[in-house]
Amino acid sequence: MSAQHALRVESAGVPSTPPVGGVGKRPHVTVRALSKTFGKTVIYDNFDLDIPRGELISVFGPNGCGKSTLINMIAGLIPVDKGQILFDGMLLSEIKFGYVFQNYREALFPWMRAFDNIAYPLKLMKVPPAERRARTEALVARLGIKLDLNLFPYQMSGGQQQLVSIMRSLVVEPEILFLDEPFSALDYEMTLFMREQLQRLFMDTGMTMVLVSHDLEEAVYLADRVLLLSRHPARVADFTPVTAARPRTTVTLSEPDFVSTKAHCLDVFQREVRRA
Ligand SMILES: Nc1ncnc2c1ncn2[C@@H]1O[C@H](COP(=O)(O)OP(=O)(O)OP(=O)(O)O)[C@@H](O)[C@H]1O
Ligand SMILES: [Mg+2]
Q: How far is the CA of 228 from the centre of ligand 2 (A)?
A: 14
Q: How far is the CA of 233 from the centre of ligand 2 (A)?
A: 15
β-pair type (97-100, 56-60): unpaired
Q: How far from the centroid of its chain's Cα atoms is residue 241's Cα?
A: 16
- Choose from 104-108, 123-127, 219-223 the range with maximum mean pLDDT: 219-223
Residue 271's pLDDT is: 92
Rounded distance between C-alpha atoms, residue 185 and residue 208, angstroms? 24
- Within 6 A (CB) of ligand 1 lie 38, 41, 43, 61, 63-69, 214
Our mutation pick for probing the ligand 1 site, out of 40, 44, 47, 68, counting the most ligand atoms within 8 A of Cβ, is 68
* Residue pair 57/51 in contact by the 8 Å Cβ criterion: yes
Task: Establish whether the linkage from the previous residue to 233 is cis, with ω within 30° of 0.
Answer: yes
Judged against a pLDDT cut of 50, whether residue 217 lies above it is answered with: yes
Burial 25-62 (b: 16+ CB within 10 A, else e): eebbbbbbbbebeeeeebbbbebbbbbbbbbbbbbbbb
For the chain, the straight-line distance linking the first and the last C-alpha, in angstroms and rounded, comes to 39
Rounded distance between C-alpha atoms, residue 83 and residue 36, angstroms? 9
In ligand 1, which atom is closest to the CA atom of 72?
A: 18
Q: What is the pLDDT of residues 10-60, one digit of tens each?
A: 333 344 445 544 556 689 999 999 999 999 999 999 999 999 999 999 999
Region 110-139: what's the mean pLDDT? 95
Judged against a pLDDT cut of 70, whether residue 5 lies above it is answered with: no
What mean pLDDT, rounded, does the chain reach?
Answer: 89
pTM of the full predicted structure? 0.89
Give the start-to-end residue ranges of the domains of the chain. Answer: 56-68+175-275
Region 175-195: what's the mean pLDDT? 89
Ligand with an atom nearest the CA of residue 72: 1
Judged against a pLDDT cut of 60, whether residue 8 lies above it is answered with: no
**Cβ-proximal residues to 159 (8 Å cutoff; 6+ apart), any chain:** 186, 187, 190, 193, 194
Rounded distance between C-alpha atoms, residue 207 and residue 76, angstroms? 19
56-68+175-275 under CATH 3.40.47.10, yes or no: no
Ligand with an atom nearest the CA of residue 234: 1
In ligand 1, which atom is closest to the CA atom of 78?
A: 1
Judged against a pLDDT cut of 80, whether residue 212 lies above it is answered with: yes
